[in-house]
Structure 1
């Protein structure tokens, strides 16, 4: 079972939040606000925040820019993970992933099933790694953002979480790029 090892120090990570929407503005971006509130309450740092339209190329370009930024450790996107024609966030994420974290989508579905039942099948939440940066595509509802953060990401971005967490393997994400 998971636990927090109080003998370890908390290590804050730098998290960028990207809202994907054709209609949201900073004034009414409730899902982005939810993520920012959660990550800062947990002791992490907001590295950047933006809103982009539902356009695959635009989303991928913003992801690549933040992946290239040494001040960003993690990118959380909200919106565009559904099944409609404008939902292209997952495709944009997969355009930039070096490795996909397949279990994230599975665990998110399990968490969602407890809250919204079989409607959870309509989400394509996903996660991956690129350029030493973690990326997660979350649905566009504040409830889904709360569930993803509170039930999964909060723990995986806490260095003290045992038996393992994402933070402890940061130094090894790009070991394949080192010379032998």
Structure 2
């Protein structure tokens, strides 16, 4: 159940979009385009956008680069979450996570199941946190990107969403690093 508290002010977040593909360039990146369109229409800022090959090390390096960038609050990747040998995005994400958001994959599967039935079991969508940055790995299809944004991320990245949302806990994501 998604509820917006209109008495609160919207707080835009800075989102980087990463497409993982051996074959796509910006001109063919419909899933990346879908995410950029949706996040900007929602009032957020596109912090950066890149395409990298399906190589675990390359993906991890790009994620770490954005985690270290104070101008990036959230990273959403698309592609490489399936079951084939070249699908290494989930492993790259987990290489950098400090904490995994286990329920993100579960809720994504629930949303997908309503659209594509049992084929939803083939996705390994994941979410996590590192260095005070949220990271989400989505499948490469435009439909999956639409579903993840429209049904989950749109709400959780809106400070006005109740009963809780990801934005309101930004200041506490790295509190363990300040306790010394």
What is the TM-score when the length of structure 2 is the normalising length? 0.99
The corresponding residue for 2:128 is: 128
Distance 1:179 1:47 in 2: 29
TM-score by length of 1: 0.99
Residue in 2 that maps onto 1:47: 47
When the two chains are superposed, the root-mean-square deviation of aligned CA atoms in Å is 0.6
Partner SS for 1:62: helix
Counterparts of 1:155 and 1:2, CA distance in 2: 7
- Number of residues of Structure 1 aligned to a counterpart in Structure 2: 180
Q: Give secondary structure in 1 for the equivalent of 2:19.
A: strand
Query: In structure 2, how many angstroms separate the alpha carbons of the residues matched to 1:179 and 1:8?
Result: 30
Q: Secondary structure at the match of 2:150?
A: helix
1:175 matched residue in structure 2: 175
What is the deviation of 1:179? 3.0
For residues 2 and 41 of structure 2, what CA distance do their matches in structure 1 show?
21
- The match for 2:87 is 87
1:18 counterpart SS class = strand
List 4+ stretches of structure 1 deviating above 4 A.
none
- Asked if 1:18 corresponds to 2:28, the answer is no
Determine the structure 1 residue equivalent to 2:61: 61
CA drift of 1:178 comes to 1.1
**1:100, distance to aligned residue in structure 2 (A):** 0.0
What does residue 6 of structure 1 align with?
6
Counterpart-to-counterpart distance in 1, 2:5 and 2:40: 21
Per-residue Cα deviation, 1:118-166 (whole angstroms, up to 9, x for no partner):
0000000000000000000000000000000000000000000000000
